[in-house]
Structure 1
Amino acid sequence: MDSNTAGAQYNRWNEDNINLNVAGTDPLFFTDIIRSVLRRVYNRYCTGTLGIALKVGGAVAALVAVYMIGYVTGYYVHKC
């Protein structure tokens, strides 16, 4: 293979004129707003004393729900 041909093929794929700018994007994008709101909600309700209380309350509520589902299911299964 000729070295000039190989160089031409290499240079063809090594161009730096690729434009990655997308029209209509601004610095404060919609996902940034959602991300900041979710971060504030997380910091408020998932950390500290309130976060621990909500996690314990959620665990107790899930335990009661599973107990009730099991009770109702057992009632109908063993009805006869």
Structure 2
Amino acid sequence: MMEPQESSIRYSRWENSHPDEVHVASGPSTEEASGWQRVSQKLCSGKLGIAMKVLGGVALFWVVFILGYVTGYYVHKCK
């Protein structure tokens, strides 16, 4: 499935003596964009994508749990 490339159009009008200028620039290079698209498609879809999301969720849970545990320990520490 091919998606249209994004492009940016910049219109500038400096003075009446100069002609109007229109600049059309395409987005990132097609090689670079297709490489990133392939990597993101592979990591974010299908069974591998689901596994990555589950592992990311478990890792985030443990990071929050450990931060909460350490914070609670220092907040409620006996003097």
Partner in structure 1 of residue 40 of structure 2 = 42
The amino acid that maps onto 1:52 is I
For 1:77 and 1:61, how far apart are their aligned partners in 2?
24
**TM-score using structure 2 length:** 0.62
Q: Mapping of 1:1-80 within 5 angstroms?
A: 18-20=20-22, 31-32=28-29, 33-80=31-78
Greater relative CO, 1 or 2 (CA 8 Å, sep 6+) = 2
1:66 partner SS: helix
Q: Which ranges of 4 or more aligned residues in structure 1 deviate by more than 6 Å?
A: none
2:77 partner SS: coil
For 1:50 and 1:34, how far apart are their aligned partners in 2?
22
1:49 partner SS: helix
**TM-score using structure 1 length:** 0.61
Provide the aligned C-alpha RMSD in A: 2.3
Equivalent residues, number: 59
| More helix as a share of residues | 1
For 2:71 and 2:23, how far apart are their aligned partners in 1?
58
Q: Which runs of 5+ in 1 are unaligned?
A: 1-16
Percent identity between matched residues is 46
